[in-house]
Structure 1
Amino acid sequence: MKRKRRGKRGPLMIIISILDTLDGSDMNKTSLSYKTNLDIRVLSKYLEFLAERDLVRYNDYVDDDTYVGKRVSDPTLIRITDKGREVLFHFKEAIRLMDDRCDLRDRCALRRYAD
């Protein structure tokens, strides 16, 4: 039996996936690559894009006293910023408005129109 090939994710869904994964906890690039199912080179380009817009931040830019972690000085850890959380919230809200039966993991609202 042949498996039906799923379509490729668009840039918006990749950005949502990265932000959603980072919303749970800080992680390094390799773990993020596995969890978002992205090649490390592609992920690096998206992280650069997100960092330029202050949506994610590497730990070498820790500038607030509220963030305390075991490896705070480790520059390889990436975390979502408050601005990134706000953008993620609005993305999720837009998906819910398009189709209230779908969530971020299901992506049926966006997948239906991508084919």
Structure 2
Amino acid sequence: MLEKPDAADLLATAREVVLKELLPALPPEKTFAARMVANAIAIALREASADTAALPAMDLVALSREIREGAHDPGTPRHAATLAFLRDHARLRASVSAPKALG
């Protein structure tokens, strides 16, 4: 790791500045844009800290093609592993983009 502040610290500080210092000073018609920026920073922070190592490396384009071809249908040898991967992948994506959806 590089010395502090690292990228995550800088992003967190930038988000805090947007929300606490800039947003209150903006005219009402600009607050939505400022909240979008703050939300994008929060998503970037969650993505940077997401534990992608827990998921096996997978070519999603190839996997999609194989699913369409029926190679992972119920009853096939790869079905259970593919189902587990897709659930874990969806959970990881939701934890980054919409963590409130996970409860």
Which bin holds the TM-score, normalised by the shorter protein?
under 0.3
Q: Which structure has greater helix proportion?
A: 2
Tell me the TM-score normalized by structure 2. Answer: 0.24
